[in-house]
Amino acid sequence: MTQYQSFLSFSQEVLDARTAGKAIVALESTIISHGMPYPQNVAMAREVEQIIRDGGAVPATIAIIGGKICIGLSDEQLELLGTSPDAMKVSRRDLPFVLSQGKLGATTVAATMICAELAGIEVFVTGGLGGVHRGAETSFDISADLQELAQTSVAVVCAGVKSILDIGLTLEYLETHGVPVLSVGQQGFPAFFTRESGFNADFRLDTPAEQAAFISTKWQLGLKGGVVVSNPVPLDQAMPKEEIDAITSQALQEADAAGISGKRVTPFLLSRIKELTDGRSLATNIALVKNNARVGAALAIAMPGVTA
């Protein structure tokens, strides 16, 4: 038994799926603890899990609880993450701390990828990736999510990255590190709240079979690292571009004026944007995660070696 296995704790649902060789989809928990307010966060988490079940796969929401990496959470554990103000936002750097201290940890995209890989899960669904922040040439604020995509072999279904980030530099960074960016249903790389960012994805692959073939080819070649599967928000749920751009600028200025830095930047911007849009950004956020869950379940089923 390799050493990391003693840290993993699987829910019964995920254990059964592993035994049966069924498709499993990982889900992150920072989106619950730091990405959305209560009670919408917990409701979203439950609904997304159900969409994945309805799509024929098994959801595995990941968090750190009681010194264990929990792969698949109970209803009570989802509630705990959604209501605990002391839940830590856990990225690669923080994993040994939160595990060895027995603290409550919500995993970011980076940490969820690490845990999913340890658990043998290939497909992970989230809302948006972290990326290169605007002004990173002076702040050095580049999300650890990008380095994780460079080295950890998990496919991440997302709605692109938010325009709180420098989307062009984020794509440049991914290119440098050999991380392919796929798009579903359009050539354009989506900007989370809106369907177009003004940048293109590298490869448009509309069907789960093509996406699965791309991803498995990459890994069969021994090319380690993730694949970004970008899926635009549904048209009727997208936000008007001018409005979200103006609000994003305001939120960025406020973060700057308030001296917000490090891991607090992204949660601050998300909650300010929600306030400034009177909650409409939250509705869009929930809609896009659900849409990603449908794509992720279909992709997980299409991966080689999975039992239908």
Catalytic residues: 28, 162
- In the complex with Mn ion, the residue whose CB is nearer, 140 or 257, is 140
Binding site for ligand PSU (CB under 6 A): 28, 30-31, 35, 108-109, 127-128, 130, 143-145, 162, 192, 263, 266, 270
Residue number, 239 or 306, with CB nearest to ligand PSU: 239
Instruction: Choose the contact partner of 108 out of Mn ion, ligand PSU, none; CB within 5 to 8 A by kind.
Output: ligand PSU
Q: Does 141 bind Mn ion (CB under 5 A)?
A: yes
The answer to whether the CB of 65 falls within 8 A of the CB of 76 is no
One-letter amino acid for residue 214 of the chain = F
Q: How far is CA 178 from CA 29, 175, 230, in A?
A: 26, 5, 16
d(Cα 110, Cα 108) in Å, to the nearest integer?
Answer: 5
Q: Which does 296 bind (CB under 5 to 8 A by kind): ligand PSU, Mn ion, none?
A: none
Tell me the angle at which helices 144-151 and 167-176 cross, rounded to the nearest 10 degrees. Answer: 30
Residues 6+ apart with CB under 8 A from 71: 8, 9, 10, 11, 14, 26, 60, 62, 115, 119, 121
230 touches, from Mn ion, ligand PSU, none (C-beta below 5 to 8 Å by class): none
Is 145 a binding residue for Mn ion by CB under 5 A? The answer is no
Q: Give 141 or 202: the residue with its C-beta nearer to Mn ion.
A: 141
Cβ closest to ligand PSU, residue 17 vs residue 115 = 115
Q: Choose the stretch contacting Mn ion; rule: CB under 5 A; options: 98-106, 140-148, 172-180, 238-246.
A: 140-148
Q: What CA–CA distance (Å, rounded) separates 235 from 127?
A: 16
CB atoms near residue 256 (< 10 Å): 14
| Closest distance of CB 65 from ligand PSU, Å | 17
Q: Which does 49 bind (CB under 5 to 8 A by kind): ligand PSU, Mn ion, none?
A: none
188 binds, among Mn ion, ligand PSU, none (CB under 5 to 8 A by kind): none
Cβ-contact 277, 247 below 8 angstroms: yes
Asked if 130 and 108 count as a contact pair (C-beta separation under 8 A), the reply is yes
What residues numbered 180-219 form the site for Mn ion, per CB under 5 A? Answer: none
Nearer to ligand PSU, 128 or 232 (CB): 128
> Look-up: residue for tokens 């970004």?
228
Q: Which amino acid is at 184?
A: V
Q: CB under 8 Å to 52, separation ≥6 — which residues? A: 25, 27, 58, 59, 125, 293, 296, 297
In the complex, what is the shortest distance from the CB of residue 220 to ligand PSU, in angstroms, rounded to a whole number?
Answer: 27
Chain residues binding Mn ion by CB under 5 A are 141
